[in-house]
A and B are shown apart, each in its own frame.
Chain A
Amino acid sequence: MTALRAAGILALCLSVGSLLALAAASRTGGNSVGPVSSRVRCYAGGDQVIVVASSEEIEVREAEGIRLFVGATVPQAFVAYPQPRNVTVAYPPAGPGAPPLPAPPTQRPQFSGGELMVLRADEGRAIGLPLAVLSGDPVELAQRVEELASGRSQLESPRWASGSYLTGSVGIPEAGRWYAVVVAVARADSPIPADSTVDCDVFMDLEARVYPGPSQALRSAYLAAAGALLILLDRVRSRREGWSPPS
């Protein structure tokens, strides 16, 4: 095997290897980039809890072959009802061995659905994000976000833990500044008293995925073409060397 031919085969192999590596890497799921800080509020009304969260601005830079996703996990909301009236505490418990205060009755509402949306930062700022989640009507905010969203994804519970938490991710369409907003609804077994304490949380994180596109295929094709050209040159050279002019 001549050096030219070996180099050609090498280029072909590297081209195939790179394509296979990119294809495999794009199927292995997301690679965590880091958490995204967010503001969360839960609203209790009737027998339902609405969880609304907005991320801080997310800046996505231009990078070829990479797509960023915002992932969100919404753990189960926790409702602590007010202390029942018939429970009285005769003395404040103090010191070791003192009887503990009776815990208020609690409930963990089951999620019935949720959505994760991304919208451009300028549009998000126009509706007051991220602080808008801390005040105002959650239903109205959810409607405004839905109208403006550039991308959305339904949050789902895993089968083995139906309703106990929600998770999902949505792709950020392009480079720029973005907000991610989560709206999730959980239903309680019974009406929630107005003075109850409702705890909820939303964890957001950014993940990057290899997303090969036409430019990667083109680069790989260039490499393969260079390899094929080297092999062709080698064949031409070997034919010329084998050919001798007639005497």
Chain B
Amino acid sequence: MRLLEVLEEYLSVSLGRNAYAFPLGALAASIAAGLFGLGAAVSQVALSPGQIPPNAVSAGLALSHLVFGFVVMALAGTLAGELKSEATFHLSLPMRKEEYAVAWLAAAVWVPVALEIVAPLVPIAVLDPRLVTGVVVEPLIYRAVEDAFVFGTILWVSLLRRKGLVTVYGLGVILLLPMMVGLSLGAVGAFSGRRTWVTRVVGSALPATSSMIGVGPSGAWWVPALVSGLLAAGTQAGFVLWIGRRLEVT
């Protein structure tokens, strides 16, 4: 309970105007997802009510990922600036360094990931709440675990205390990652159906991105989710440990 209160208090101070980025991001994501995903959803519903095809959710998720990717990038930039100049003030509050790290994880990873999954589903729920139970869950899980990993790495870059680097890295992983993954998979012949260890590694680490470019992970759906989830957990645990033990406030 104390942790929740500390998190709320800290976030209300540190995020400031950035806090509006979440509802605005959710607004943009729900509009975009509704515009590009509802068509596929309604045409499927007409055939078999209660089943929403993956493409109806994937288009919305991709746009939602884009919107919240920029929100996370902005927040990570704020953290970089804070670590450079104002962290002394925040860390002088009755708050442990680990709580400070968890607060940032909540603000820049957990809440954005939760919202990017929820925002595309809201227009479907408003249309007919029964439809939500028919949504295929694999794309949602893939997107959640992959972004928990990718957004975590953006937070890691903010530890370098340089906003410019955060921006360059953030733009790279949000905008260019599908292209880079596509090029690397194309180089090993994944698009012609060849499965190599590269396709398996990329498909497991980045299941949502590889599915988006048409070279989805093969085998049991939960394996890539587990691998990407472990990567996300490792990245976030590392972030908390690094802030708790190695962060020196000057």
| Chain A residues proximal to chain B, CB less than 8 Å | 1-3, 6, 9-10, 12-22, 24-25, 28, 31-34, 60-66, 68, 206-210, 212, 216, 219-220, 223
Q: Interface majority SS on B: helix, strand, loop or mixed?
A: helix
B214 at the A interface (CB under 8 A): no
Q: Write 15 A-B pairs (CB below 8 A) sorted by A numbering.
A: A1-B12, A13-B26, A17-B123, A21-B32, A21-B33, A22-B34, A22-B127, A24-B35, A31-B39, A61-B49, A62-B49, A66-B42, A208-B43, A219-B129, A223-B126
When distances are taken between beta carbons in the complex, the residues of chain A under 8 Å from B43 are: 31-33, 207-208
B46 at the A interface (CB under 8 A): yes
When distances are taken between beta carbons in the complex, the residues of chain A under 8 Å from B19 are: 1, 6
The answer to whether B49 and A28 have CB atoms under 8 Å apart is no
When distances are taken between beta carbons in the complex, the residues of chain B under 8 Å from A25 are: 34-35, 38-39, 42, 123
Which of chain B's residues has its CB closest to A9's CB? B23
When distances are taken between beta carbons in the complex, the residues of chain B under 8 Å from A9 are: 20, 23
The answer to whether B129 and A66 have CB atoms under 8 Å apart is no
Which of chain A's residues has its CB closest to B115's CB? A10
When distances are taken between beta carbons in the complex, the residues of chain A under 8 Å from B46 are: 33, 60-61, 63, 66, 68, 206, 208
**Complex CA–CA separation, A247 to B103 (angstroms):** 38
Chain B count of residues within 8 A CB distance of the other chain: 40
The answer to whether B42 and A17 have CB atoms under 8 Å apart is no
When distances are taken between beta carbons in the complex, the residues of chain B under 8 Å from A65 are: 127-128
The answer to whether B126 and A13 have CB atoms under 8 Å apart is no
What 0/1 pattern do residues 63 to 94 of B give for CB contact below 8 A with A?
A: 00000000000000000000000000000000
**Complex CA–CA separation, A25 to B19 (angstroms):** 29
**Complex CA–CA separation, A223 to B129 (angstroms):** 13
Which of chain A's residues has its CB closest to B118's CB? A14
**Complex CA–CA separation, A14 to B119 (angstroms):** 7
B110 at the A interface (CB under 8 A): no
The answer to whether A14 and B42 have CB atoms under 8 Å apart is no
When distances are taken between beta carbons in the complex, the residues of chain A under 8 Å from B42 are: 25, 31, 63, 66, 208-210
B19-52 with Cβ < 8 A to chain A: 19-20, 22-24, 26-35, 38-40, 42-43, 45-47, 49
**Complex CA–CA separation, A20 to B26 (angstroms):** 13
- Best-surrounded residue of B33, B46, B49 (most CB of chain A within 10 A): B46
CB distance from B104 to the nearest CB of A (A): 15
B157 at the A interface (CB under 8 A): no
**Complex CA–CA separation, A21 to B59 (angstroms):** 14
**Complex CA–CA separation, A216 to B129 (angstroms):** 10
**Complex CA–CA separation, A9 to B23 (angstroms):** 6
Per a CB cutoff under 8 Å, which of A14, A28, A32 touches B122? A14
**Complex CA–CA separation, A32 to B24 (angstroms):** 32
The answer to whether B128 and A64 have CB atoms under 8 Å apart is yes
- Nearest 10 A-B pairs (CB), nearest first? A21-B34, A17-B30, A13-B27, A13-B23, A64-B128, A31-B43, A31-B39, A18-B126, A208-B46, A25-B38
